[in-house]
Amino acid sequence: MFRSEAGAFPTAHPDLHSGFDAREFQARVDAARGDVTAAVVGWLVETGRLQPAAALTHLEIRGWKIPD
C-alpha cells in the first residue's frame, strides 16, 4: 500500500508496513515512461516482495487523500 503524509499504512502482510507517497509514486511512474505496472514491479522487486522473474498478472492501485 502507499503511505500518506500521515504515515505508513499496513500492507496485506501484518508484519510489513511500508509503501511510498504520491510524489515518489509519480517519480517512479515518470521514470518508467508512464508504465505504472513497470514502476510497481520495480518497487516490489527492490523491496523483496517479488522475485525478478515472477510474472505480475493483476495490479490494483488505491489512492486516497487525507482530509484537511
How far apart CA 24 and CA 46 sit, in angstroms, is 14
CA neighbours closer than 13 Å in the CB half-sphere of residue 24: 12
Q: What angle do CA 41, 44, 47 make, to 5 degrees?
A: 150
Better-scored residue on pLDDT, 18 or 8: 18
Q: List the chain domain ranges.
A: 1-10+17-60
Number of CB atoms found within 10 A of residue 54's CB: 11
Scan for cell 522475485, then name that residue: 51
Better-scored residue on pLDDT, 50 or 22: 50
Quick: pLDDT tens for 34-51: 999 999 999 889 989 899
Q: pLDDT confidence of 64, banded at 50, 70, 90?
A: confident
Q: pLDDT confidence of 5, banded at 50, 70, 90?
A: very low
How far apart CA 10 and CA 33 sit, in angstroms, is 28
